[in-house]
Amino acid sequence: MSDPQRPRASLRTAVVWDVLEDALDRRVKATGKDSLDVLDTGGGSGNFAVPVARLGHRVTVVDPSPNALFALERRAAEAGVAERVQGVQGDILGLFDVVDRGGYDAVLCHGVLEYVEDPAEGVRNAVEALRPSGALSLLAAGLGGAVLARALAGHFSEARRALTDPAGRWGEGDPVPRRFTAEQLTEVVEAAGVEVGAVHGVRVFADLVPGVLVDTEPGALEALLQLEAAAAELPAFRSVATQLHVLGEKRG
């Protein structure tokens, strides 16, 4: 948390990365293996897969987009981890057409549930891919953050529409097909056989403050990152976060 050169992009990933790195560390200790088998469903171009591989783990990315998988391959090569990252074209709803059940120590499902037709089935598949006691890392768009952002931008009717819409969308122009509350995510994860360990709010403030404040004020980015970390687990702030992160462990 003390790197003054930390890029602004870290605002999007810092809280999730800290929680995920700890969870992988715990799996390493619990399994006694140096290198874990990690599955990143909808892993795209490797925002998480490549850093996870840099920790020494083997990562399989399943994603339907050939462009994303191409970018992943290039990024993994640039990071010197090509031999530990495997990209596979596939869909979380047909996951076992391309990967084995019960073959992974950790499964990531980041920014994917918003886009799948049946989020509960997506989560069930992610959990079925885990070994017993494996770690599930789930990140999805939060309803409260969208409502707050629309309201602060002066779009009050859209904010109210998101609040009452079953999918949490603010209108036809909304690029996100589905948003979730922490309760909805927790329920779907528990129903799939996972013990929830922690729920964090991601980007509670980052999307609400003008970028210029963060970019020009010395030390502002670091202070904002610390504020995000401090607020992430507090339910009051979590409920207005742009994204919600659920970390859990497969039962049995």
Q: Which residues bind ligand SAM (CB under 6 A)?
A: 41-44, 47-48, 63-65, 68, 91-93, 110-112, 115-116
- The two tokens of residue 24 are 């992988």
Closest distance between ligand SAM and the C-beta of residue 142, in Å?
14
- Which among 37, 22, 10 is positioned nearest to 206, based on CA atoms? 10
What count of residues does the chain have? 252
Q: How far apart are CA 84 and CA 141, in angstroms?
A: 29
Closest distance between ligand SAM and the C-beta of residue 139, in Å?
6
Closest distance between ligand SAM and the C-beta of residue 32, in Å?
28
Closer of 42 and 144 to ligand SAM (Cβ): 42
Q: How far apart are CA 145 and CA 237, in angstroms?
A: 9
- Which among 246, 247, 227 is positioned nearest to 237, based on CA atoms? 227
**Those residues with Cβ within 8 angstroms of residue 67's Cβ, 6 or more apart along the chain or in another chain:** none
Closer of 107 and 162 to ligand SAM (Cβ): 107
Closest distance between ligand SAM and the C-beta of residue 212, in Å?
25
Q: How far apart are CA 14 and CA 19, in angstroms?
A: 9
